Amino acid sequence: MAIDIYWRIPTHGDKGALRHQLTRGDWAPTTPGSIAPGLRGGEPDDFSYLDHMADIARAAEISGFYGALIPSFPHTEDPWIISSALARETKTLRFMIAFQPGFLNPVHAARMSASLQRVSDGRVVYNIISGGGGPAQLWWGDKIDHDDRYRRTTEFLDVHKGVWKEGPFTYDGAFYQVENGRLPDQLAQQPIPEIYFSGSSDAAVEAAGRHSDYYLSWLEPFDDLRVKFAQVRERAALVGREARFAVRVDVLARPTEEEAWAEIRRGWEAFDTSQLEIIYGSLRGGDSVGGQRQQALRSDEAKSYKDLIIAPNIWSGFSLLRGGPGLGIVGDYANAAERLNDLIELGVDAFILAGVPHLEEAYRVGEEVLPLVRGRQVAQRQLATV
Amino acid sequence: MTAEYYWTLPTRGGGRGVADPSEKDGDWSPGGGALGPSIRDVRPGRYSYVDHLAHITRAAAVAGFSGVFVPFDPEGEDSWIVSAALAREIPRLAFVTEFPPTFGTPVYAAKMSATFQRFSGGRLGWKLAVEDDPAAGAAFGDHVEGADRFVRAGEFLDVATGIWGQEGFTFKGRFFEVEEGGLRHPLSRYPRPPVTLSGATPEALALSATRGDLHLWESARLHELEEYILELNRLASAHGRHLRHGVQLTVVARETAQEAWDEVRRLWLHAGVGDQEGFERLVLAPELWSGFRTIGQHATAGVVGSYEQVASYLHRVGEAGVEVFYLGANSPLEEAYRFGEHVVPLLVAPSPQLQAV
């Protein structure tokens, strides 16, 4: 099966380089040099941050990405609205909408999704997150225990699929009780989006086995990923499904390794190391197991960016230079492609790649790295015989 | 006082088939709108019903409407998706999006709205669909009934309003809870969308009096409207509030009253929902007919007549205290142009004849 490679659209601004402050969008004050909105005659111009996200979306589809993840956190734009707004000005890009089942009623979510399938000609994909817990969960107005969240996610997806494909659908769950729920025929004929499922706890892995098309993980040390994948494979087999895997990872690729590491070094030098405790502290608030797994990789004793190189071409300090996962790939174009090939050999079927700045790096990674990704040898043979 | 006009988007097909009101657009029509096998058809896969909705919306913009109303209709397209998809490509118009307060948490509604406001320059409006029959609610997993629906809608608005532009917002109600919530800058750069509500029950009026920005009436009888408006204004001022009033009307305007009524009669008889006698019973006033929902329109009451009569009636509705008109029509693309070309001029610059009314 072919590998699906997604890009990422940052939903809370972007910056010209890892070492810089935010200049794209209005998350930082709008000053000379700001983009979307910029200044025109001293006043913010008519562009909004969505105009910049539209540029990234176009860059991603032109340079060969299958789709783009649109993340959702409290202080970000909303992925449903972004996807709807951009659906009609893009052609092939799939919109991977990140959302938590606690945000939406499953029947309404099915309606929204089916309508968006109609608007976009079937380009909706889900990234289902069951929530990091802690303060952020209460921020959303969602009060529920960690393991219950995954049970609710399972019920949410039961109802969502049921009303879409088996309506009139009746369901009597602990969280949802629906009587004769259905979609109008025109909506019901649309395909249900593929599901990328996030979550690292046992409860998450259990729920993923039942409902996900792809089990999505941040990049972790390869051996850890191997263990995690084996665990998910086992759970999926119990419910008669074959598990597929996706990895979300930043790629910092340059013509030479030296240039790539120079970019990291400059980012590191611009970073205020007194912020380390604050950054790691913020990861401790919730009950996210994924967050804790990343935190276990911390190295706040690091004296140099080199101390955070944990394997060839793998640097674990990305979360210090921008929000999000810690581990990323650093190297020349061939190195970057080789690490992706390694991951494919390890069982990865799809990637969500990212790089700062997302507009320019979409072109770079699309033009320089993706053509070097071999894919699985078996898969290539299969393709050749088709 | 300048009135505002909104056009209703047909999210389950617009009934362009003038001869047959059951005919809908695109794949909402029985045959899917496909051409016969002997004709080369290059459209499949290239166009969808949303292209036609975009066309209607653009027509409303060029014909001078202030905005479009995108109804919540379980049998149609989703209102949020349609609004967001079209607001991006159609300038200036406001998008009043109807949804029930059960569609998600109020925090999430506010979050989606913040992004919508930011990219559209503050053009989103909310219309809450609060009332529903129990079976329709249960199909969405909603088992709250009666007056509680209004309590929940009130909490929904309190949370959505409370988190907008402030931090550390905590709320513990019967239906919703938030701790330390809040949409801060730049998400709150534009105001929370204005809230449109409707209904005539005491609970509906109380909700509007305390939280509504616009109350949308479904009646178009002038004396009734005047009474309703007085009553709601009294309730609102008891809370130190002021809100605007709107009406929801279908419009059939033609060069002559005869043509307009012939059109309505023909649609009625064709739909097979009643006979001539039944038709007459629905005539409430010389330019008012109240059976439009039975022939596929969103608003059951409608104004029927010549351009002058329609303009004159809308003018009188305005004098009763209505500032906002949510209008709709069969064949909404064509009718948006017609209204803009023939009725709006009479409303914007009233003729001596109109002023004499």
Examine residue B51 and state whether it is found in any structural domain, yes or no. Answer: yes
Residues A305, A265 contacting (CB under 8 angstroms): yes
d(CA A350, CA A216): 9
Minimal CA separation from B321 to chain A, in Å = 35
pLDDT over threshold 80, residue A381: no
* pLDDT band at residue A147 under the 50/70/90 scheme: confident
At what angle are helices A106-120 and B79-87 packed, to 10 degrees? 40
Q: Of the candidates B83, B103, B139, which has its C-beta nearest A104's C-beta? A: B103
Using CB atoms, pick whichever of A86, A115, A168 lies closest to residue B82.
A115
Give the one of A26, A140, A176 whose C-beta lies nearest to B141's C-beta: A176
Q: Are B153 and B130 in contact (CB under 8 A)?
A: yes
Query: Considering the domain boundaries, does residue B94 fall inside one?
Result: yes
Contact A49 B28 (CB under 8 A): no
Inside any domain, residue B165:
no
Q: Answer yes or no: is B269 within a domain.
A: no
Chain B contact set for A166 (CB, 8 A): none
Question: B184 in a domain, yes or no?
Answer: no
Q: State residue A292's pLDDT score.
A: 59
| Chain centroid to CA B27 | 23
pLDDT > 70 fraction of chain B, expressed in percent and rounded: 92
Note whether A107 contacts B: Cβ–Cβ < 8 A: yes
First CA to last CA distance, chain B: 17
Out of A87, A105, A171, closest to residue B85 by CB: A87
Contact status, residue B273 vs residue B295, Cβ threshold 8 Å: yes
User: Higher model confidence: residue A234 or residue A133?
Assistant: A234
Among A123-137, B98-112, B128-142, name the one with the lowest average pLDDT. A123-137
**pLDDT for A322 beyond 90:** no
What pLDDT is attached to residue A183?
97
**pLDDT of amino acid A383:** 53
Residues B209, B237 contacting (CB under 8 angstroms): no
**What is the average pLDDT across A96-112?**
95
A181/B contact by beta carbon, under 8 A: yes
SS3 B217: strand
Which of residues A207 and B31 earns the better pLDDT score? A207
User: How much is the pLDDT for B17?
Assistant: 44
Domain span including residue B67: 4-99+194-246+322-327
According to the model, what pLDDT value does residue A352 have?
A: 98
**Maximum alpha-carbon separation in chain B:** 69
A131 touches chain B (CB under 8 A): no
Question: Does the pLDDT of residue B35 top 90, yes or no?
Answer: no
Q: What is the CATH number of the domain that holds B19?
A: 3.20.20.30
pTM listed for this prediction? 0.93
Percent of chain B with pLDDT over 90: 77
Angle at B247 between CA B89 and CA B250, to 5 degrees: 70
Q: Band of the pLDDT at B40, cuts 50, 70, 90?
A: confident
* A145 pLDDT above the threshold of 90: no
Put simply, the answer to whether B119 touches A88 (Cβ < 8 Å) is: no
Mutate to test the interface with A, among B49, B79, B115 (most CBs of A within 10 A): B115
User: Has residue B11 been placed in a domain?
Assistant: yes
- For residue B125, list its beta bridge partners: B96
CB A67 within 8 A of CB A95: yes
Name every chain B residue with its beta carbon within 8 A of the beta carbon of A84: 80-81, 83-85, 88
Among A208-212, A301-305, B182-186, the least confident range = A208-212
Judge: B135–A86 Cβ closer than 8 Å, yes or no: no
DSSP label of A369: I
Question: Does the structure show a pLDDT above 50 at A112?
Answer: yes
Sign of the CA dihedral A13, A16, A20, A26? negative
Nearest to A222, CA basis, from A120, A297, A135: A297
Residue A54 has pLDDT above 80, yes or no: yes
Contacts of A177 in chain B (CB under 8 A): 138, 141, 143
User: pLDDT grade, residue B22 (50/70/90)?
Assistant: low
Mean pLDDT of chain B: 91
Give, as one character, the DSSP assignment of residue B349: S
Angle at the Cα of B45 from the Cα atoms of B42 and B51, rounded to 5 degrees: 95
Mutation to test the B interface, candidates A119, A159, A179, most B Cβ within 10 Å: A119
Mean pLDDT throughout A286-305?
64
Q: What is the mean pLDDT of chain A?
A: 89
- Residue B190: is its pLDDT beyond 90? yes
Tell me what pLDDT residue B332 has: 93
Evaluate if residue A223 carries a pLDDT over 80: yes
- Per-residue pLDDT band at B355 (split at 50, 70, 90): very low
Give ∠ CA B345-B348-B353 in degrees, rounded to 5: 75
In tens, the pLDDT along A171-215 reads: 999 999 999 999 999 999 999 999 999 876 777 777 776 788 999
**Predicted pLDDT at B31:** 61
- The DSSP string of B27-43 is GGSTTTTPPPTTS----
Structure token pair of residue B102: 């059960």
Cα atoms in the 13 Å half-sphere on the side-chain side of B236:
21
Q: Among residues B156, B160, B240, B149, which one has the least CA distance to residue B199?
A: B149
Q: Is the pLDDT of residue A334 over 80?
A: yes
Bridge-based pairing of strands A169-172 and A177-181 is: antiparallel
| Nearest by CB: B139 against A102, A138, A182 | A182
Which two three-digit tokens encode residue B235?
Answer: 């309730």
CB pairs under 8 A between A and B: 167
Q: How confident is the model at residue A323 (pLDDT cuts 50, 70, 90)?
A: confident
Q: A172 CB near a chain B CB, below 8 Å?
A: no
A-chain residues near B190 (CB < 8 A) = none
SS3 content of chain B, % helix, strand, coil (to 5): 40, 20, 40
- Do B49 and B77 touch, CB atoms closer than 8 A? yes
Residue B45 maps to a domain: yes
Across the interface, which of B75, B118, B121 has its CB nearest the CB of A184?
B75
Is the Cβ–Cβ distance between B213 and B127 less than 8 Å? no
Work out the average pLDDT over A346-374: 97
Which residues does chain B have within 8 Å of residue A82's beta carbon, measured at their own beta carbons? 115
Mean pLDDT of A122-134: 85
Q: How many angstroms separate the CA atoms of A226 and B73, rounded?
A: 47
Q: How confident is the model at residue B9 (pLDDT cuts 50, 70, 90)?
A: very high
Q: Which stretches within chain B are classed as H helix?
A: 49-62, 79-87, 106-120, 134-138, 147-163, 202-211, 222-238, 257-271, 276-281, 307-319, 332-338, 344-348, 352-356
Q: Mean of the pLDDT values across residues B92-118?
A: 97
Residue of higher predicted confidence among B38 and A287: B38
The pLDDT of B205-210, averaged and rounded, is 98
In a domain, B91, yes or no: yes
Domain count, chain B: 1
Q: What is the pLDDT of residue B25?
A: 66
Q: How far is CA B2 from each of CA A200, B69, B107, rounded to the nearest angstrom?
A: 58, 19, 34
User: Given a cut of 50, is residue B80 above it in pLDDT?
Assistant: yes
Distance CA B331, CA A127 (A): 39
Alpha carbon distance B20, B14 (integer Å): 12
CA–CA distance, A49 with B87 (Å, rounded to integer): 15
Q: Given the structure tokens 């790539």, which residue do they identify?
A: A260
Residue partners of B345: CB distance under 8 A and separation at least 6: none
- Give the Cα separation of A53 and A39 in Å (integer): 18
Tell me how far apart the alpha carbons of residues A287 and A282 are, in angstroms, rounded to a whole number: 12
Q: How far apart are CA A378 and CA A341, in angstroms?
A: 13
Q: What is the mean pLDDT of residues B16-44?
A: 67
Contacts with B, A 10-49, CB within 8 Å: 25-27, 46, 48-49
Range in A270-274, B80-84, B106-110 with the lowest mean pLDDT: A270-274
Cα B113 to Cα B84: distance, rounded to the nearest angstrom: 10
